[in-house]
Amino acid sequence: MSFDAVIVGAGILGSSVAYFASENGLKVAVIEKEKEPGVHSTYRNTGVVHRPFYLNPDRRKASAFAAARSYPFLKMFVKEKGLYWNQLGTLEVSTDDQGAGVIRNYERWARENGMEESEYLILDEKEISAIEPSVKGKLAFLSKTDAVVNFKQISEKMMELSEGRGARVFYGCRTVSVYPDGEIVYSCDGSEKKISGRSVIVVAGGETFNLAVTNGLKGYAQLHFRGDYWKLSEEKGKFFRRNIYTVPRFPNFPFLDPHIIKRHTGGTEIGPNAFLVPGPYDYEGTFSKILKNVLGSGEGPFPIKAKLFTDVEFMKLVFADWRISLFKSSMIKKVSEFATGITSGDAIGRGISGIRHNIIDKNGFLSEPFFYIKGRVLFVLNYNSPGATGSPWYASVILTILSKRGILNANYKNLVISDESETFSVKVLE
């Protein structure tokens, strides 16, 4: 069997690639190891369609483009298909002077990243408590257009539409190997099969790294950080009207601090933290052997991770977030820095944890997703938040780059990208 594009993984990114490729008449196949789309990070995330105010355009240009360009597409798509969309907004608060400086930067970044002035406000202490009486802060950024969605639902709809246009989807089939000439070996019900593509797009979440390494990627390692959530009681949840974030404590690391979030289910939760776990699917357990957990974590050569593990700031984050996973009281203490009146008794059970797959090199964390291309195969690595939001743009960039390199031959319409120059914001390794 031969296809124009074989996609490995049907999360929100794989589904987006399948959607745009099939819309443009390409012969598409998707190989997904689970029985349905979007069951990993796509389902296990916070569910916010982020506006790009918090993305420094000097350091995170691609993510800023991705969030800005994908927003109108996602809004139109969910409305047209009757899917969940709740545009309740996000309030990001600072509790100290340093954080207040960051909030002021957000105003500039929002403008530079294309947000309309009518979409946001800067609020002082009094104005914060006027709109959110249970929140305290010195200064805050109110983004009125952030929305809550169900990314799994969006992924399912994109896959359904792609199948309707002729895409072949192999659920319950695991990709075992990919080769630069476009051949793929995958396994279904214990038997191995082969398929080939003029292009292969590997968007397999935490498994992409190992598939890239077997295709020659060098100089990187991967770590996994679990985000745990706690559910707030219905009564306490009503105290908060929108998503409440704070300026991140550890700005050198790619994690947001635990926040208060509104779910598409109608519930309110607090989380996520960033708890280092050994593997891509360690959704449960708090691992009493923390040192073994740290040293044996992730994939790739230990010397690349060594510098990070001797960084005092990083180890502070590891231990602080380990405590947050282990003790409900630590999570409550964290959010009590900006939310009043929440006690341990208000956290009534654990939510659904999700795992980020972060790539590091000898200098530490990479801040943006990047592509690795080997022959006809494109791997997407370090695809973290706001990755679910940015999937339509990243899918468009992937197809454009494959076409520019002559791997695919297509004249695309309806891609979510303003012009080809935007593709240069994504780092491509070969």
Ligand X SMILES: Cc1cc2nc3c(=O)[nH]c(=O)nc-3n(C[C@H](O)[C@H](O)[C@H](O)COP(=O)(O)OP(=O)(O)OC[C@H]3O[C@@H](n4cnc5c(N)ncnc54)[C@H](O)[C@@H]3O)c2cc1C
Q: What is the DSSP letter of 323?
A: H
- Sign (positive or negative) of CA dihedral 269, 66, 308, 290: positive
Least distance CB 33 / ligand X (angstroms): 4
Q: How many helices (H) and strands (E) does the chain have?
A: 12, 23
Least distance CB 392 / ligand X (angstroms): 11
Q: How far apart are CA 15 and CA 161, in angstroms?
A: 10
What pairing do the DSSP bridges indicate for beta strands 191-202 and 377-381?
parallel
Q: Return the residue matching tokens 């790619």.
A: 254
Residues that bind ligand X (CB under 6 A): 8-14, 31-34, 38-42, 44-48, 50, 174-175, 203-205, 207, 227, 272, 354-356, 383-389
Judged by DSSP in three states, 273 sits in coil
Sequence-ordered strand ranges (E) for 57-161: 90-94, 120-124, 139-143, 147-148
Least distance CB 41 / ligand X (angstroms): 3
Of 129 and 286, which CB lies nearer to ligand X in the complex structure? Answer: 286
362 φ, ψ (degrees, to nearest 5) = -65, -15
191 φ, ψ (degrees, to nearest 5) = -110, 140
Of 33 and 60, which CB lies nearer to ligand X in the complex structure? Answer: 33
Least distance CB 203 / ligand X (angstroms): 5
Of 110 and 203, which CB lies nearer to ligand X in the complex structure? Answer: 203
Instruction: With beta carbons less than 8 A apart as the criterion, state whether 70 and 393 touch.
Output: yes
Of 16 and 100, which CB lies nearer to ligand X in the complex structure? Answer: 16
* 16 closest CA partner among 66, 50, 62: 66
Strand order in the sheet with 364-365: 275-277, 221-227, 354-361, 364-365
Least distance CB 130 / ligand X (angstroms): 26
Of 67 and 139, which CB lies nearer to ligand X in the complex structure? Answer: 67
Of 297 and 385, which CB lies nearer to ligand X in the complex structure? Answer: 385
Of 331 and 388, which CB lies nearer to ligand X in the complex structure? Answer: 388
